């Protein structure tokens, strides 16, 4: 297959990085790891192995957690003045910015996504996010209180709260935005004064490996930021380690539930950012062109491998037929190609197993009586591609309407009234995000509060910002990332009461 003329050629230092040995980052240094098990890392555009990483075992996790625990107890990070921690975290952001092209290329080669997304979202968005969180390091405050019930008649009390870092944080990230979501975990943990063991997805560990090196260069002390690579068993060993005080997890609802069950035994603090089956509602006044562009951005951005992807489209009956026609035509016209080709709009999904999972969803939908009006198969080329797919006639009881596919696939369903649209949109176990498409202000104000989702976008979708809390209702998770309260879940509140 001929290479498109604008296809990006990997930098020399990307090739050198991929060819190097990748170990575990513990106590400020690379170690081979005690485990002899290795995991192959693939380029989804070709199916070729591009790197090999350690599948860390419980002893490796213990080494990393003990390093983080010793650093926490010694106060090498939390006892630094907040302004000094902030300075080093800002330097960390600068280093990510300076290494952006290398990181973006590694992300695309490992995850499969468009180089445009790696450059402008995953890596390009990282420094702003990092600087926002770094700035919170110097904004941690407590409160003072008057007390009403004095134990001793005439006694006088000074009561206040302090916020203290929680301890060792286990950070477990998924494969869809590997470095970006890793940063959503390690940055607030570090800004709060915690120490961290990061475990990226076994499918996409590479940018996290580079990231911890940059952290060291930025002056994050040895033992404060550690990295173990490995699969679900490595993650479970981190969750079960008694010296871990908090798990911050982004991934599937099934894994989130397993973590919550393990956490219950020892009241382990958890933040869980989980899956989505997100609705987009298009009212009758939404211009077709805007609606179709919105549906493509919401449903097919990053090949639909987005927790907030709008995978269920509900369209007013009056515009349903022209919408389906225009969406199918637009989707059939999307250029398919490797992530390193900036002109390709649909890129491979992350793995062969994930491609098969998506195709199984399509087969099941057909079997259940839904109709595929665009895509529904894999193009005949190397790599893990799935054609962008539009499904109609999928009742809300069908698996395709209820389960997260996490691929380039949307269902489109007509509605007859706005009550109907809200009922359909809310008919889900999940509640991560939703969008409403209309220029009618009154309807926007009336319908937005009725949608059960952690984020409701109006005339946009997938827009996230460090200043805007993000997280799920229902089975989409517990807790919120982002916003001025980002550090709260990495800190304990201690009340101090002084009699005088």
- Which residues form the interface with ligand NAD (CB under 6 A)? 172-176, 181, 199, 201-202, 231-232, 235-236, 239, 250-252, 255, 258-259, 273-276, 307, 404, 406, 432, 472, 477
Cα separation, 244 vs 8, in Å, equals 41
Tell me whether residue 204 or residue 378 sits nearer to ligand NAD (CB atom): 204
Q: Which is nearer to ligand NAD, 263 or 292 (CB)?
A: 263
CB of 118 to ligand NAD, least distance (A): 16
Residue 244: what are its φ and ψ, rounded to 5°? -90, 125
Nearest to 317 by CA among 228, 414, 392: 414
Could you give the CA distance from residue 495 to residue 159 in angstroms, rounded to a whole number?
7
**Beta carbon of residue 231, minimum distance to ligand NAD (angstroms, whole number):** 5
Chain residue at closest Cβ approach to ligand NAD:
235
Q: Shortest Cβ distance from residue 273 to ligand NAD (Å)? A: 3
- Run of H or E residues at 171: strand 168-172
CB of 278 to ligand NAD, least distance (A): 9
User: For residues 346 and 358, what is the distance between their CA atoms, to the nearest angstrom?
Assistant: 15
Q: Are strands 409-415 and 310-316 parallel, antiparallel or unpaired?
A: parallel
For ligand NAD, which is the closer residue by CB, 93 or 268?
268
Q: How far is the CB of 193 from ligand NAD (least distance, A)?
A: 24
End-to-end Cα separation, the chain, in angstroms: 81
341 versus 404: smaller Cβ distance to ligand NAD: 404
Edge-first strand listing for the sheet containing 246-250: 29-31, 24-26, 225-227, 195-199, 168-172, 246-250, 269-273, 477-478
Residue 413 parent element (H or E): strand 409-415
Cβ proximity to ligand NAD, 10 vs 200, nearer residue:
200
Least distance from ligand NAD to the Cβ atom of residue 178, Å: 9
> What number of helices (H) and strands (E) belong to the chain?
16, 22
Nearer to ligand NAD, 223 or 477 (CB): 477
- Please tell me what DSSP assigns to residue 120: I
Name the minimum Å distance from CB 75 to ligand NAD: 29
> Which CB sits closer to ligand NAD, 274 or 286?
274
Q: Which residues are catalytic?
A: 273, 307
Provide, rounded to whole angstroms, the least separation between the CB of residue 139 and ligand NAD.
Answer: 24
Of 10 and 477, the one with the shorter C-beta distance to ligand NAD is 477
Distance CA 278, CA 402 (A): 10
| Cβ contacts of 496 within 8 Å, gap of 6 or more | 159, 160, 161, 162
d(CA 185, CA 129) in angstroms, rounded, equals 11
Six-digit token string for 243:
């010296």
Q: Which residues in 23-167 belong to E strands, given as ranges?
A: 24-26, 29-31, 38-42, 49-54, 144-145, 157-165
CA 352 vs CA 3, 48, 167, 224, 365: distances in Å: 22, 11, 38, 35, 20
Backbone angles phi, psi at 102, to 5 degrees: -60, -50
């Amino acid at each position: 297959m001929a290479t498109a003329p604008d296809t990006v050629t990997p930098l020399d230092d990307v090739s050198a990085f991929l060819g190097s040995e990748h170990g575990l980052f513990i106590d400020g240094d690379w170690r081979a790891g005690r485990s002899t098990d290795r995991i192959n890392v693939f380029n989804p555009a070709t199916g070729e192995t591009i790197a090999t990483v350690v599948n860390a075992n419980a002893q490796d996790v213990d080494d990393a957690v003990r390093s983080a625990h010793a650093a926490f107890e010694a106060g090498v990070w939390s006892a630094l003045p907040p302004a000094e921690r902030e300075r080093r975290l800002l330097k960390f952001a600068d280093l990510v910015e300076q290494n952006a092209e290398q990181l973006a290329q590694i992300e695309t080669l490992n995850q499969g996504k468009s180089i445009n997304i790696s450059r402008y979202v995953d890596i390009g968005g990282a420094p702003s996010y990092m600087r926002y969180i770094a700035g919170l390091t110097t904004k941690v405050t407590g409160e003072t209180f008057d007390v009403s019930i004095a134990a001793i008649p005439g006694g006088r009390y000074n009561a206040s709260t302090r916020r203290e870092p929680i301890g060792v944080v286990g950070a477990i990230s998924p494969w869809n935005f590997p470095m970006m979501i890793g940063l959503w975990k390690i940055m607030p943990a570090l800004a709060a004064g915690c120490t961290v063991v990061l475990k990226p997805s076994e499918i996409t560990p590479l940018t996290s490996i580079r990231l911890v090196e940059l952290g060291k260069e930025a002056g994050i002390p040895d033992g404060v930021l550690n990295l173990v690579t490995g699969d679900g068993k490595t993650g479970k060993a981190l969750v079960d380690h008694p010296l871990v005080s908090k798990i911050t997890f982004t991934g599937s609802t099934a894994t989130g539930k397993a973590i919550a069950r393990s956490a219950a035994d020892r009241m382990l603090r958890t933040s869980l950012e989980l899956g989505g089956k997100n609705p987009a509602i298009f009212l009758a006044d939404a211009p077709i062109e805007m609606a179709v562009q919105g549906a493509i951005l919401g449903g097919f951005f990053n090949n639909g491998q987005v927790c907030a992807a709008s995978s269920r489209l509900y369209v007013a009956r009056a515009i349903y037929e022209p919408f389906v026609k225009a969406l199918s035509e637009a989707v059939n016209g999307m250029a398919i190609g490797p992530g390193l080709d900036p002109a390709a709009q649909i890129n491979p999904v992350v793995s062969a197993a994930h491609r098969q999972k998506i195709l199984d969803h399509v087969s099941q939908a057909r079997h259940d009586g839904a109709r595929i009006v665009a895509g529904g198969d894999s193009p005949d080329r190397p790599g893990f591609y799935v054609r962008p797919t539009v499904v109609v006639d999928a009742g809300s009881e069908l698996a395709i309407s209820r389960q997260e596919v996490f691929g380039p696939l949307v269902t489109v369903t007509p509605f007859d009234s706005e009550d109907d649209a809200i009922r359909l949109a809310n008919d889900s176990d999940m509640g991560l995000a939703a969008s409403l498409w209309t220029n009618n202000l009154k309807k926007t104000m009336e319908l937005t509060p009725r949608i059960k989702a952690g984020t409701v976008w109006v005339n946009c979708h997938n827009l996230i910002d460090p200043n805007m809390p993000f997280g799920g209702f229902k089975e989409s998770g517990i807790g919120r990332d982002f916003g001025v309260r980002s550090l709260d879940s990495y800190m304990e509140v201690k009340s101090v009461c002084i009699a005088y």
